[in-house]
Structure 1
């Protein structure tokens, strides 16, 4: 079991390390929301559902209003609780339909990095960048290393990089990643302004 430190909250990180669905949902929630809070969201969801491990089938079948209420909190699991609750259910429905409800089945038998990118990219809410970051996170910290995974992850797969959640191994690397993201945003703003 990976020893993750993505949230800097031991209970949330422990769930991410032992529950592949929690990791997948944390990645889903990492959008227009602080990274640590996004990845702590699965722990909040599990607590509110009264479970120790998340179930794709239970989330897929949950009443949408109840899901939204769980996401609203307080504290909210995401900045946009209604839409993110729906997206989480859509991801879990796809997992139930194609992967017997098992998030780890997405990557367990992926023959190579390109196939892994294809599989993850088919999930609702997973665009190209989020998909590459998850491939890097799986490879760097979860032990999922099919041939060509680094190339498939692009710049996020580079050894020693500090670009994304895939590179967070503690408070120092978290600060490095946060700084790199801020620099990237500033460079994009400067380019748009010129």
Structure 2
């Protein structure tokens, strides 16, 4: 992967793993729901520590489901919902094995353009359009994965200078701005309902 500019306030070794391991980066995005982004993107590193090595997609796809849940649930749990997210990780890894020979980087390496890449990401279990757009923006903005039309396919998340998601986090100030944006969106959604 290209030079990483993503920088989360997590263990430096966890940030480094995200940079050099495509599966770890993808799994961080899988886990990025209903927990702080720092927790989600640090969890692939913690998973590797608990397993004693960096797993590949095939290993996780074939792992005993109950054992994987136990690994996810061990305190501190890798996610707020360890059973559901262990299953989701296995589902995503099975798709990687079936479609990309277990190589997470192949998900984006040979995509013809941004819309095709967005479609590939959105086809993964647990990835709706918004989550797929955020991951596409993360790949483009922070990892140099820039097929033609990627910004347009990523929607507002692909805009330069937008502080809307993990794709925009490069330092503490950008993290603060992303958090403010998310809080503003939640407040607006709440006001619209009320």
TM-score for the superposition, normalised by structure 1: 0.97
What secondary structure does 2:154 align onto?
helix
RMSD: 0.9
Counting only pairs closer than 5 Å after superposition, residues 59-70 of structure 1 correspond to structure 2 as: 59-70=60-71
User: Aligned residue for 1:32?
Assistant: 34
Higher relative contact order (CA 8 A, sep 6+): 2
Please report how far the alpha carbon of residue 117 of structure 1 lies from its aligned counterpart in structure 2 after TM superposition: 0.6
Give me the whole-angstrom Cα distance separating, in 2, the residues matched to 1:171 and 1:15: 20
Q: Distance in 2 between matches of 1:5 and 1:179?
A: 18
Hey, what's the Cα distance between the residues in 1 that align with 2:8 and 2:127? 19
Kindly indicate whether the alpha-carbon contact (under 8 Å) linking 1:114 and 1:152 is maintained by their aligned counterparts in 2.
yes
Residue 171 of structure 1, CA deviation: 1.0
Q: Which runs of 4+ in 1 moved over 4 A?
A: none
* C-alpha distance in 1 between matches for 2:90 and 2:9: 23
Per the TM alignment, residue 5 of structure 1 is displaced from its structure 2 partner at its CA by: 1.1
Partner secondary structure for residue 161 of structure 1: coil
Aligned residues: 192
How do residues 33-112 of structure 1 correspond to structure 2 at under 5 angstroms? Answer: 33-51=35-53, 53-112=54-113
Deviation sequence 1:27-67 (CA, Å, 0-9, x none): 0101111111011110111111111x330011001100110
Is 2:133–2:155's contact at 8 Å kept on the other side of the alignment? Answer: yes
Structure 2 unaligned spans of 5+: none
How far apart are residue 11 of structure 1 and its match? 1.3
Q: Answer yes or no: is the 8 Å Cα contact 1:7–1:39 preserved in 2.
A: no
- Greater mean deviation of Cα atoms: 66-75 or 150-159: 66-75
Q: Deviations over 1:132-188 (max 9, x none)?
A: 000000000011000000000000000010000000001111111011100100010
The verdict on how the C-alpha distance between 1:153 and 1:127 changes in structure 2, with shifts beyond 3 A counting, is same
Distance between the aligned counterparts of 1:126 and 1:174, measured in 2? 23
**Pairing 1:1-194 to 2, within 5 Å after superposition:** 1-51=3-53, 53-193=54-194
CA contact (8 A) 1:19 1:54 kept: no
Q: How far apart are residue 73 of structure 1 and its match?
A: 1.8
Tell me if structure 1 keeps the 8 A contact 2:9–2:172: no
1:7 positional shift: 4.1
Extract unaligned runs of 5+ from structure 1: none
1:92-124: CA deviations, max 9, x gaps? Answer: 000001101000000001010000011001100
Q: Return the offset for 1:9.
A: 2.3
The answer to whether the 8 A contact 1:167-1:173 is kept is yes
